[in-house]
Structure 1
């Protein structure tokens, strides 16, 4: 999962100014002239910390996972560092229509559906790691969960290791799994490596179709009902209402079909693209929406409590968040090296 939004591109230019010119005064002028999101991103890149603490308000998006008591046997917990106030200025939301799809029986089914929650550090890698690597990392690394790309026509890397036996052995070691699906992308996406896009006229049905593919993969890997699968929507330029609405419609079809099959729906995107649009849809009253969100904001802050400045305490706040906070880093434990993205979890994982 890789993202670089418009604000981040501007921020990179500002940081380059400092690296090449060395002038703090020039950098300050450039920051003052930059748009708010770019200025905040540049400050984050340079290690700046704004003052103030916004706090949080309990609550959850309609259709969310209900509050639970986290038993020690159910949740492996690694306490994250103390929260730091968010550095990013939330993007201005696109006004989206309220759209409600039938989701019959989900509220009752959800109450009976087994689920596995995990709170702590995790990582995702482009290919499922070798089992020997997972064995070397287990107990020597800070991580307890690993993202796996189980399905989707636009996965970037080979998944030849990813079999039902791999899943069985990884879980037997104690690893928690984060299933992910990479299919159609936003209509306005500009990613050359993912050329297949959502059709706004058929977005809801396409979301259902992608969910059906993901369910087949979950079953083939031996992942049981009550598992989630996270829909990977890479960053896209915002401001196009039709594009944003298509992404939300797609996510609603995805959620509806997964609920019908007995699985939780997850959604991955960057905070200034898909996550911002999903939040706008939630506040408009659209449903059903994904049960958990995995948001990318590479701010080096391993916490889920503030939503990286993009999610308030009223949205996906009840053990429903994963934060991808650092990308493309190589780490080595027990003599085994991997290139990974770092994540902090407080969310449902596979069973």
Structure 2
């Protein structure tokens, strides 16, 4: 049975590590340009009033969401600037620096047959006037997006609420408006996502594309509202799977109060697939070696092989004197014991799973990794979880299986059962905890 006694040095290291993590959570992150999703598959939320920085920080480490919808422009916004105590270009920049992506939403002229009890502005039945209104709205949407920091190439999202498609004149105005809006935004070198009820503008535009409507400027993305509570992007029977399969968003559950990190917000839930979804980047090698192994076995004097070579390389990169030979030699023993001592561990002259876990997880620690994230930190997280005993594929994409493995690991080490890998997870991994 393993002893429960922990050396004083190790306890101090753990305490200092937790204090460091707490300070890092409040520290500013790297600068990043605000961006709409370009190639991403994951979760988004939108809410009328953009949350405070404190709420966004809590949700960043606790929630599965990577994308947030923000209401940036339009004469029919309920949540305009006067009702937005937090939303500003500085707020957007701060959230971008913490890894958030955005859906800049324009709520302008609505269908002429829109519910008359609403105070929203309505487009004209006159098609020439409707086209002029659309161009003006497009200019406003692009100007506002630029003011909030979104450069050319990003998307703005045109919000057309539900309307009666049985009204032919009304439908004609809406389609004219969408065509002119998309054309103008494209001229300004931005992209367009069309948001609407699946049975309204989404279905109308999809039918127009299937009919090969000539001279019509179609949106780049389709964001359909269908509150069937299914977190997928299957829009049938309203949106066929013929077009926009790589570029669609589904608002599947509306007006639901959700709490993460002790902060409750009423949101609409969305699932996102843009650009075909998240795509893994090539795994980086160390010392010319692929660091992902099927298993990370225990090693000691006399061991040899590719895993010994990887161990020696990782020790060398960690600043301990090891020669990369693939054979465990006296210098390997010294390097292992030196590394163990740096963690406050007993010097056993061996490399077991805790040591692999600590070594493999070394590196830059993002504020939070979650569904849809890609890149070197994801590869590193997945292979480290594997070394720690979790069943996970090293794909380079933070997928559903990775989220399950992270949640299981968090439970094992006494952390809240989120599905995100925040700096507390990295601190536990780098301490070799399993």
TM norm. shorter chain > 0.5: yes
User: What are the within-5 Å matches in structure 2 for residues 187-336 of structure 1?
Assistant: 187-190=112-115, 192-201=117-126, 202-286=129-213, 287-304=216-233, 306-318=234-246, 320-336=247-263
1:215–1:332 CA distance, 2 compared to 1 (3 A): same
User: What are the within-5 Å matches in structure 2 for residues 63-142 of structure 1?
Assistant: 116-142=38-64
Residue equivalent to 2:104:
179
1:191–1:267 CA distance, 2 compared to 1 (3 A): farther
Unaligned runs of 5+ in 2: 1-35, 278-434
1:267–1:194 CA distance, 2 compared to 1 (3 A): farther
1:279–1:191 CA distance, 2 compared to 1 (3 A): farther
Number of aligned residue pairs: give it: 234
Structure number, greater radius of gyration: 2
Displacement after TM superposition at 1:159 (Å) = 2.5
Residue equivalent to 1:25:
none
1:194–1:117 CA distance, 2 compared to 1 (3 A): farther
Q: Distance in 2 between matches of 1:283 and 1:221?
A: 35
Query: In 2, are the aligned partners of 1:296 and 1:323 still within 8 Å (CA)?
Result: yes
Displacement after TM superposition at 1:308 (Å) = 4.2
Q: Distance in 2 between matches of 1:115 and 1:325?
A: 18
3-state DSSP class of the match of 1:307? coil
Displacement after TM superposition at 1:328 (Å) = 0.5
Query: In 1, are the aligned partners of 2:37 and 2:102 still within 8 Å (CA)?
Result: no
Displacement after TM superposition at 1:324 (Å) = 0.2
Unaligned runs of 5+ in 1: 1-113
Displacement after TM superposition at 1:128 (Å) = 1.2
1:322–1:133 CA distance, 2 compared to 1 (3 A): same
Work out which of the residue numbers 272, 279, 295 in structure 2 matches 1:345: 272
Partner deviation per Cα, 1:57-81 (whole Å, 9 max, x = no partner): xxxxxxxxxxxxxxxxxxxxxxxxx
Query: In 1, are the aligned partners of 2:37 and 2:101 still within 8 Å (CA)?
Result: no
Q: Distance in 2 between matches of 1:153 and 1:115?
A: 25
* Greater RCO (CA < 8 Å, at least 6 residues apart): 1
Give the TM-score normalised by structure 2.
Answer: 0.52
Partner deviation per Cα, 1:130-173 (whole Å, 9 max, x = no partner): 11111000121111111001001111122242211111111111
Residue equivalent to 2:301:
none
Displacement after TM superposition at 1:118 (Å) = 2.1
3-state DSSP class of the match of 2:41? strand
